Homo-oligomer: A and B are copies of this chain.
């Protein structure tokens, strides 16, 4: 098939590349929350919004919010976007692509009005790098970002003061909350994983953002001499922990959709000829459905306890984080599937294993995500990439989604 909007696709890619140059570390892409180059990002995107005739606002949370009003003063608002901040040494597409495509989708309208307004959102903070907590931007739209104002970054600066330094008014934060009638939120984002690439498909519809538990496990045995301690007199903390790693992998492999990862493991004392006396490790377990995840976790921890007990090792488990799954809105998902089918594209459903602003927005309005294939599954890496034709596909699906929503939105009671 021919690529729809080839010029606009190139505009999107060019914009991503231009924005990648607005960084605090030359030669790398690093633009954490409220970093000075964010002003350049706003200026660039504002220029585009002005050319499109949009109304422009940077809210008190530092979110860029550009509106293309709908037909009539009471038209509800469809939010389109993603985040403008990055991790250190990032790629050029995580977050950014979704914001830029928001403007491109307004451009596809060619000046037409829809039965709903479009508000393109460039969230100021999603990655959680600077303040160790995520989603300040989207939480501000829900009116729940206030408690984060007192967080301090590594340099000791309060988030409140960072807003002031950027030229914003922290006291006005409540004014960032969405006031009017919200139709929903659509976020287009790179997949950040290998599923679409493995399936040979350009785009996918997100079924849900996975819920997750993160825990720390500490196995405590007794360090002793690797030569003089017979196997049955050992209290080997690593032998127990290794069984746990194996069990986590087996459980996840045998439970469709479950992912379980032991990413951190610290072995003490850590000498080749000394039996490990203590092992601290992490567990990260995720699934699209909370009941599956929550059914799997206790059995896995019971296994860990058993592996420890069998070896005279004790186990301490410390929960670090729990996030419930966020199903995407069924009618928005259906519209995305229809839009992709209309565009002649395969449209698999997949789960987002990573968190996104859509997770926050879903608490207030119907939310949906469209994923774009990530070559090599890479993200948070300078080699993060997209294929031009995949961006064209995403643009085509988004455009068709707007038309379907315009035609059907009222019927669905959205």
Chain A contacts to B: CB under 8 angstroms: 191-195, 198, 210, 212, 214, 224-233, 236, 238-239, 241-243, 245-246, 249, 252-253, 258-267, 269-276, 282-284, 286, 320, 352-355, 377-380
Contact = CB atoms under 8 A, between A and B. Distances in A.
A379 B229 CA distance: 11
A379 B259 contact: no
A162 B380 CA distance: 54
A283 B271 CA distance: 10
Contact of A286 (B194, B227, B276): B227
Given A233-B194, A238-B245, A253-B232, A267 B265 contact: yes
A353 B229 CA distance: 8
The 7 closest A-B pairs by CB, nearest first: A227-B353, A193-B228, A242-B245, A272-B282, A226-B261, A228-B353, A242-B242
B242 A377 contact: no
A87 B224 CA distance: 15
Given A238-B245, A242-B246, A276-B263, A228 B270 contact: no
A319 to B, nearest CB: 12
A246, A272, A274: most-surrounded residue (chain B CB, <10 A): A272
A118 to B, nearest CB: 28
A272 B249 contact: no
Contacts of A249: 231, 236, 239, 242
